[in-house]
């Protein structure tokens, strides 16, 4: 069975109604990165950070996977598919994808403030009551915090993403600017003989000289084109 690795970014979930963080109107326009997405910001005002992610969870619980998510999940009927996502939502899983690597954490999970990456202290938040408040404690007695990889923190699942590219037969990039590292560097681990497809309605500048098939469409329409014209 051929193996496909798909890297997805914020553009993957836009059609579901979730906003992006970057670009005009993105969340970073309203919430300074250093206040809500860094360890320093969390230490300075944990209540602000907890409420920021509470809002993100409320938004997530009110949207559904789009056709693009569902089409990616359907590829598992014919291929071995690994989804590597920069997104913290769970829309790939809700659409049916069974092998998802979250590089930047998972919004519907919480973890220890003392040891964020210790799996013994990571928990899935109940739905719909998924809000975190000051005084909610992890199993180690520390304040529960969002299970999010913030700026300045290591990306622990990067090695898993790189390993997934071993013996891959196709690499697909959807809805990401390729400006955020280390995720953007995954392209450097794709063997030169492997076809690369980039799905995005906008032009994406890629800092490499390899041939890339650009599909200038949104996520759902682009994945449909990928399946019909390139993976059939």
Residues annotated as catalytic are: 104
Distance separating alpha carbons of residues 21 and 86, to the nearest angstrom: 11
Distance separating alpha carbons of residues 194 and 167, to the nearest angstrom: 9
DSSP output for 53-115? HHHHHHHHHT----HHHHHHHHGGGTSEEEEEES--S-HHHHHT-S-EEESSEEEEEEEESS-
Distance separating alpha carbons of residues 224 and 13, to the nearest angstrom: 15
| Helical (H) or strand (E) element with 144 | strand 144-148
Peptide bond into 13 cis (omega under 30): no
Residues 6+ apart with CB under 8 A from 70: 95, 96
């Amino acid at each position: 069975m051929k193996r496909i690795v798909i890297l997805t970014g914020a553009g993957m979930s836009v059609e579901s109604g979730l906003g992006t963080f970057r670009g005009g109107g993105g969340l970073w326009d309203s919430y300074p990165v250093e206040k809500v997405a860094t360890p320093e910001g969390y230490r300075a005002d944990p209540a602000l950070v907890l409420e920021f992610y509470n809002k993100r969870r409320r938004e997530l619980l009110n949207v559904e996977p789009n056709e693009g998510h569902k089409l990616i999940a359907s590829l598992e009927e014919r291929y071995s598919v690994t989804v590597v996502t920069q997104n913290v939502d769970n829309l790939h899983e809700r659409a049916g994808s069974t092998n998802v690597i979250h590089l930047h954490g998972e919004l519907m999970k919480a973890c220890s403030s003392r040891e964020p990456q210790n799996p013994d202290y990571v928990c899935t938040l109940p739905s719909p009551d998924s809000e975190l408040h000051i005084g909610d404690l992890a199993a180690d007695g520390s304040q529960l915090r969002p299970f999010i990889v913030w700026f300045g923190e290591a990306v622990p699942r990067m090695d898993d993403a790189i390993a997934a590219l071993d013996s891959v037969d196709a690499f697909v990039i959807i809805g990401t600017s390729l400006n955020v590292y280390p995720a953007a560097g995954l392209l450097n681990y794709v063997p030169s003989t492997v076809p690369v497809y980039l799905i995005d309605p906008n032009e994406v500048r890629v800092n490499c000289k390899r041939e890339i098939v650009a599909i200038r469409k949104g996520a759902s329409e682009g994945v449909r084109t990928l399946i019909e014209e390139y993976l059939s």
